[in-house]
Amino acid sequence: MSTIYLDEQGSEVKKKGELIIIEKDDKTISEIPLAQLDRMVIIGNIQITTPALALLFDKEIPVSFITTYGNYRGKLKPPTHKNIKLRLNQYACYNDSGFRLNYSREVIRTKLKNGKTFLQKHWRNNPEIDINQEIGEIEASLKRLDAAESLEEIRGFEGAAARGYFSAFGRLIKKEFKFEKRTKRPPKDPVNALLSLGYTLLFNEILSAVEAIGFDPYLGFLHEIEYGRPSLAVDMMEEFRYLIDGHTLALINKEILKRENFIEQDNGGFYLNEKGREEFYRQYEKRITTEVQYQEMSLNYRRVFCYQAEKLARVVNGEEERYAGYETK
């Protein structure tokens, strides 16, 4: 079972029995057995027929839509999970300031710790690059988290750590690429283009995980309510952002992607071209399906996302006392 990324612009998705057919210019360019598919991501100008959608819905296979620039458009999926008890408990937890504070502290603690581990791994491989000061800034924010008495304080410590983190991240970038600061809508350089696209895919993964459990994805605990934003998915992706940062470094430093894979638009934004996107999705899928140790199990990251969502559900339902974030090794 895998995720299929469709990026052949001008193509059309159809069904043929239990097969998903991709056609372009009246020619079949791909046939995908449903047994090999657990989700579909459609990028850009690709059509999908009603029979194909109906087949995917019958098999409970969600279809996500993103632009060729990596912006999330939305998702078509089978009917919402019927776990109303979980949602009622979720709403009650949102109104519990103590719960929100404890959960948010743990999410940001895990995010900062994973970011620190990520930087230290790459520093060991590049000892000539001194990022000791930035790691110290992250450690200082970690120590202050325990004393945080409000969500605003937690976000403040996160922001302070992020400045040091991205400063160190930028110095780990090699070859002809440079990274000075995080920019988006539009991403102002190729590195930011990769981060933005990767974060979009990660967001879609986490959104699928929280919806599958039965959560209301629009009600988070760390991020405030914002119309149209699935805040719970944004909450839960925080502890996994390092995956995309590592993905970006690998693509650049291993020269999997080069300058020629990027285009600059009139708005000053940088985006991958079609060949670059194809390689990006291939490498992303390899990373996200990598198996890691999770408690006593060996799971790929996609399953880890689901297990973390299930863990949060048990805490929200009162079956476990505290949420514990996923820490990379």
Question: Using one digit for the tens of pLDDT, what is the confidence trace for 43-56?
Answer: 888 999 999 999 99
Contact by Cβ (8 Å): 268, 184: no
> Rounded to the nearest 5 degrees, what angle is found at the Cα of 109, between the Cα atoms of 329 and 238?
80
Residue where the block lists tokens 């450690």 = 139
pLDDT in the model for residue 4: 86
Average pLDDT in the 31-44 region? 86
Q: Which of 59-63, 209-213, 264-268, 309-313 has the highest mean pLDDT?
A: 309-313
pLDDT above 90 for 60: no
Spatial separation of the C-alpha atoms in residues 22 and 29, rounded to whole Å: 6
What tens digit of pLDDT does each residue of 203-222 get? 999 998 999 889 999 999 99
Provide mean pLDDT across the span 68-83.
78
Residue among 217, 247, 248 at smallest CA distance from 235? 217
Query: What pLDDT is attached to residue 128?
Result: 86
Q: Which residue has the higher pLDDT, 81 or 126?
A: 126
Model confidence at 2, in pLDDT bands (50, 70, 90)?
Answer: confident
Cα separation of 200 and 284, whole Å?
12
pLDDT at site 22: 92
> 84-316 adopts what CATH topology?
Four Helix Bundle (Hemerythrin (Met), subunit A) (1.20.120)
- Give all strands of the β-sheet with 72-76 in edge-to-edge order: 2-6, 37-43, 63-66, 72-76
What would the CATH number be for the domain defined by 2-76?
Answer: 3.100.10.20
State the pTM of this model.
Answer: 0.87
The amino acid sitting at 224 is E
Q: How far apart are CA 182 and CA 65, in angstroms?
A: 24
Q: What does the pLDDT read at residue 52? A: 92
pLDDT at 328: 93
Stated as kind and residue range, the H or E segment containing 293 is strand 291-294
DSSP β-bridge partners for residue 76: 63
What pLDDT sits at residue 5? 87
pLDDT score of 110: 97
What are the residue boundaries of the structural domains of the chain, listed by start?
2-76, 84-316
Orientation angle between helical segments 97-125 and 132-145, nearest 10 degrees: 160
